[in-house]
Amino acid sequence: MKEWWNKHNSDWIGSCMEDAKIFKKILQRVKEKIPPKDTARLNELNKFGTGEDELNQKILQAINDICSLTEVNALKIDTINWYEDATANIHTLKREVNKCKKNTIYETMWTRIEYELDSINVEELTFDHPLCSGILDITLEPFQTMPESLRDAFKDPFNKYLLPRNEDIFSTCKQFIENEQKKIILEYIFDDINFDFGVWLDKPDKLKKITKRLLKVLCNIWSLPKYESFSSKGNTQINEGSYVCEVISPLLSIIMKELPGNPSIVEVWGEEASKASAHRKGSLKIAKRVDYMITAHLGNAKLEVVYLETGRPISLKSKQLHDHKKLACIAKDSIDTVTTKSALKRVFNKKKKFLTIFNINIKSDVMEIWCMRKEDGIYKYCLLDKAPIPLQITPANVIYSFIHLLLTLRTAVACTLFKINNDNSVKEYESDESEDTNTSITITTPQHHN
């Protein structure tokens, strides 16, 4: 693979078909050199696809992505020029710092900065370090070893933008929060809402309001030229980033806002490392990452309750299967934290029967909602419901199915969190069927030892 990249990074052919042919030849040579017993590594390489059509599509898709990056020089990092430019920039910076020492009340600060800059070795910096571009970043070198008084002096020119405390703003905020808290109590406590599974928790007016917001987002999607010309048979010009930003994110942000029961949740987008996965693996660096997740605050503890993985509007079956397996494993990790993290164990004392983790698997233009529970020591993973994502204007029944799916997820998450936070039906002396602390070991890719 390195041979292919080195060749193309220095002498890019520019023809996707020709580049794909070269890549396939090198891929075959690599596979031939791997011992037959090394099935794990062979399986990884076979993920490119074994059939001719699947392999071609996957390689062309990858090369198209690389071509897009090279068009804007996103992959071009000149290992020689950046070092020379960085050295020149820092030299210029030192000269300017020396000038600042003269006729200024900040002479002590600039003298210390000059001293620290003299001790910096450019070779020890990375090309993207602010200093290499002539930027003094107060959070990095040369300020890290400087006294706080000198760092404060450096910030003085920016302090003019700060405003004094304003009691009018504070009292307005305080009044607003008090009113909102009263509204929540009236809506969800005294309004006799039945927080039970399988029933609508939002009032009819609220449901209509949410539905109109979702329809507005869909209308915006339909008006975009790329989705007007979208075809499930051939248009692959919509990349994963666009799909997430223009379609998935706006829709989920609406349905997860102001959940019934007002649980404290945080939405996270963009390949965030799962804390549950990190807890099992022992490090955030090697933890599984997902495209989207929801973390719920349960007292002093946090629990990841929703995960999402997606690809392009037209994605390979192998990608969809990989996402499915990944989501299943990460949901199990989240369930396991309930019995391995002391803070969560206290929250879920006698309440593990309410715990369900929800996964959203976007398979091309279809959204699937999966659920995982642990009952009687068994991890159960099942499809809750699915619906096509209407990327173009479609009949009302199709749009209804999709919006119904989104609101089903909203209601299920809200009811689950309410039961965990507020349900008092489980008495202290009652036994919990989920009380077992036995957990299966999550199997990951085997390590290779030379």
Asked if residue 255 and residue 120 are part of one domain, the reply reads no
Asked if residue 123 and residue 12 are part of one domain, the reply reads no
Asked if residue 96 and residue 58 are part of one domain, the reply reads no
Question: How many independent structural domains does the chain possess?
Answer: 3
164 to 72, 126, 168, 170, 395: CA distances (angstroms):
45, 39, 12, 12, 56
Asked if residue 418 and residue 297 are part of one domain, the reply reads yes
Asked if residue 109 and residue 62 are part of one domain, the reply reads no
- What stretch of H or E contains 307? strand 301-309
Asked if residue 343 and residue 301 are part of one domain, the reply reads yes
Asked if residue 313 and residue 266 are part of one domain, the reply reads yes
**Spatial distance between the Cα atoms of 415 and 193, rounded to a whole number of angstroms:** 11
Query: Is residue 109 in some structural domain?
Result: yes
The pLDDT score that the predictor gives to residue 343 is 54
Q: CB within 8 A of 212, min separation 6: which ones? A: none
Asked if residue 219 and residue 95 are part of one domain, the reply reads no
**Spatial distance between the Cα atoms of 161 and 427, rounded to a whole number of angstroms:** 56
Looking at residue 126, what DSSP letter applies?
-
Query: Is residue 250 in some structural domain?
Result: yes
**Spatial distance between the Cα atoms of 186 and 51, rounded to a whole number of angstroms:** 60
One-character DSSP codes across 144-207: TTS-HHHHHHHHGGGGGG-----HHHHHHHHHHHHHHHHHHHHHHTTT-----TTS--S-HHHH
Q: Among 45, 71, 97, where does a domain finish?
A: 71
pLDDT tens string 175-198: 766 776 666 555 555 445 566 777
Q: CB within 8 A of 160, min separation 6: which ones? A: none
Q: Given strand 357-363, what is the order of strands in its sheet?
A: 265-273, 289-298, 301-309, 357-363, 366-375, 378-388
Asked if residue 112 and residue 67 are part of one domain, the reply reads no
What is the identity of the amino acid at 354? F
Range of the domain at 131: 81-161
The pLDDT confidence band at residue 406, using thresholds 50, 70 and 90, is very high
What does the pLDDT average to over 430-449?
A: 48
pLDDT tens string 4-14: 444 444 444 54
With vertex at residue 367, the alpha carbon angle to CA 373 and CA 442, rounded to the nearest 5 degrees, is: 35
Asked if omega into 157 is within 30° of 0 (cis), the reply is no
Q: Which of 143-152, 178-187, 398-407 has the highest mean pLDDT?
A: 398-407
Asked if residue 396 and residue 335 are part of one domain, the reply reads yes
**Spatial distance between the Cα atoms of 213 and 258, rounded to a whole number of angstroms:** 13
Asked if residue 214 and residue 296 are part of one domain, the reply reads yes
The pLDDT score that the predictor gives to residue 7 is 47
Query: Is residue 171 in some structural domain?
Result: no
Q: Among 161, 193, 225, where does a domain finish?
A: 161
Which residue is associated with the tokens 């007002």?
A: 262
- What stretch of H or E contains 311? none
The pLDDT score that the predictor gives to residue 439 is 57
- Range in 119-123, 271-275, 309-313 the model is least confident about: 271-275
What does the pLDDT average to over 150-175?
A: 72
* Helix, strand or coil, per DSSP, at residue 257: coil
Query: Is residue 135 in some structural domain?
Result: yes
Q: Among 71, 99, 121, where does a domain finish?
A: 71
* Percent of the chain whose pLDDT exceeds 70: 67
Query: Is residue 331 in some structural domain?
Result: yes
Q: CB within 8 A of 263, min separation 6: which ones? A: 296, 297, 414, 417, 418, 421
**Does the structure show a pLDDT above 70 at 204?**
yes
Query: Nearest CA to 59 among 69, 68, 72, 47?
Result: 47
Query: Is residue 105 in some structural domain?
Result: yes
Asked if residue 259 and residue 110 are part of one domain, the reply reads no
Query: Is residue 196 in some structural domain?
Result: no
pLDDT tens string 330-365: 888 888 877 665 555 555 555 566 788 889 999 888
Query: Is residue 442 in some structural domain?
Result: no
Q: CB within 8 A of 218, min separation 6: which ones? A: 390, 399
**Spatial distance between the Cα atoms of 42 and 44, rounded to a whole number of angstroms:** 5
**Spatial distance between the Cα atoms of 67 and 23, rounded to a whole number of angstroms:** 14
